[in-house]
Amino acid sequence: MTYPVNETFLSWQGEGVHLGRKAFFIRLQGCPVRCAWCDAASTWHPAHVPRDVRKASAADLAAEAAASRPEFVVLTGGEPCVHDLAALVQALAAQGLPAHLETCGAFPLPAGLAWVTVSPKWAKPPVSEILRAANELKVIVEDPESIGKWEAALGGWTCPVVWLHPEWSRRADPAVLRAITDAVKARGAPFRAGWQVHKPYSADGLDPRSRPPAPLGGDPAKGF
């Protein structure tokens, strides 16, 4: 089998517990979630889907990743779990590379993952067994009420680490930032204030294999 690949690149992890560590990213094509503020719109939006979507085998992707000698490989999308990732995770393991997954948590997980980051999305909420398997949650804070809404929707916080990330188009919104700060100060663990640190560094785009980012609209009427 082959995987539809949006892009691959060497960078460092810009979010979460593994922030700042050397990582190879495999971004797969395709996503049924389609968030209005998606920063990987080229994985799903008709106006931005590339004409030259690469198809690659698990062995080829693992060999490409190994050539960069990363500390781990991040499988992301789109939504990577709409694909059967078992062969890819096994191929990475054969190269001695831990597989880290970024998912919305609504689709089955492959065996053998070293780390699971769940970022819940309203269009496809996570299922309980995947929430239990998550090593960290990344909650996107779109407005000051988002944290409370997600706590109610998820039935509380069972994950040991819950990152509160401002939705990127709202990253300078004082109300959003205040809501995150207040939540961390009021409760402490499991909450941590999050940020996409790789973006101000332009770290991902320094690898010529990465795609230029699609424009962020944050406008549901536009679809992106």
CATH number where 137 lies: 3.20.20.70
Res 75: pLDDT = 98
Res 54: pLDDT = 96
Res 218: pLDDT = 55
Q: What value, to the nearest 5°, has the Cα angle with vertex 203 and ends 57 and 7?
A: 20
Q: By the 8 A CB rule, do 22 and 44 touch?
A: no
- How crowded is residue 88: how many other Cβ atoms within 10 Å of its Cβ? 27
Res 224: pLDDT = 46
**DSSP assignment, residue 197?**
T
Q: Would you give the distance in Å from CA 70 to the centre of its chain?
A: 18
The closest alpha carbon to 103, from 88, 119, 84, belongs to 119
Q: What value, to the nearest 5°, has the Cα angle with vertex 221 and ends 220 and 224?
A: 50
Q: Is residue 166 part of a domain?
A: yes
Q: What residues make up the domain containing 169?
A: 2-206
Q: Is residue 93 part of a domain?
A: yes
What are the φ/ψ torsions at residue 189 (nearest 5 degrees)? -60, 140
Q: Is residue 221 part of a domain?
A: no
Q: Is residue 34 part of a domain?
A: yes
Q: Is residue 219 part of a domain?
A: no
Q: Is residue 222 part of a domain?
A: no
What's the number of domains the chain is made of?
A: 1
Res 146: pLDDT = 97
Q: Is residue 67 part of a domain?
A: yes
In this structure, the chain runs to a length of: 224
Q: Is residue 220 part of a domain?
A: no
Per DSSP bridges, beta strands 2-12 and 54-57 are: antiparallel
For the chain, residues with pLDDT lower than 70 are 215-224
Res 214: pLDDT = 76
Q: What value, to the nearest 5°, has the Cα angle with vertex 196 and ends 125 and 150?
A: 25
